[in-house]
Amino acid sequence: MNTPIRCLIAEDDVDDQEIFSIAIKELDDSYDCTYTLNGIDALDRLTNGMLLPDYIFLDLNMPRMNGIQCLEEIKKIPHLSHIPVVIYSTSSGQSFIDEALLHGAVTFITKPSRISDLVTILKDFFANQISGKFSN
């Protein structure tokens, strides 16, 4: 039996958390997702030994600590720095994408308005991860 993929999703909007959860479960029901409301809570979970995910998804715009700030901190921690981090946002400007990639994100996802579109985006992302297209 394969170990399920573990994801940490830092998202301050509970509706967007639900959308992400539905999309992930539709993609593969075995994926195990943990949700936090901001970057500080995500870092706490990651550094206290409670969680070592296979993938980290960070909303760009969160209170207390945004996705880029959280990404910067994750990349400073040796036992976390190898984990693929995705920044996602409703903001789709090239400057946001460039900043995310500059700080070590493997990709940037613009939040789609439909769950089916998010499923497709996530399916492509995970397929590309397996094939090695995105890597740190």
Q: For residue 130, tell me if it sits in a domain.
A: no
**CATH number of 57's domain:** 3.40.50.2300
Sheet containing 32-36: give its strands across. 32-36, 6-10, 55-59, 85-89, 107-110
Q: How many domains does the chain have?
A: 1
DSSP notation for 30-54: T-EEEEESSHHHHHHHHHTTS---S
Q: For residue 136, tell me if it sits in a domain.
A: no
CA distance 111 to 12: 14
DSSP E strand stretches across 14-105: 32-36, 55-59, 85-89
pLDDT per residue as tens digits for the range 9-43? 999 999 999 999 899 989 888 899 999 999 999 99
Q: For residue 38, tell me if it sits in a domain.
A: yes
Q: For residue 25, tell me if it sits in a domain.
A: yes
pLDDT per residue as tens digits for the range 96-115? 899 999 999 999 999 998 99
pTM of the model: 0.91
Q: Percent of the chain having pLDDT more than 90? A: 71
Q: For residue 132, tell me if it sits in a domain.
A: no
| Domain assignment of residue 93, given as a range | 6-125
Average pLDDT of every residue of the chain: 90
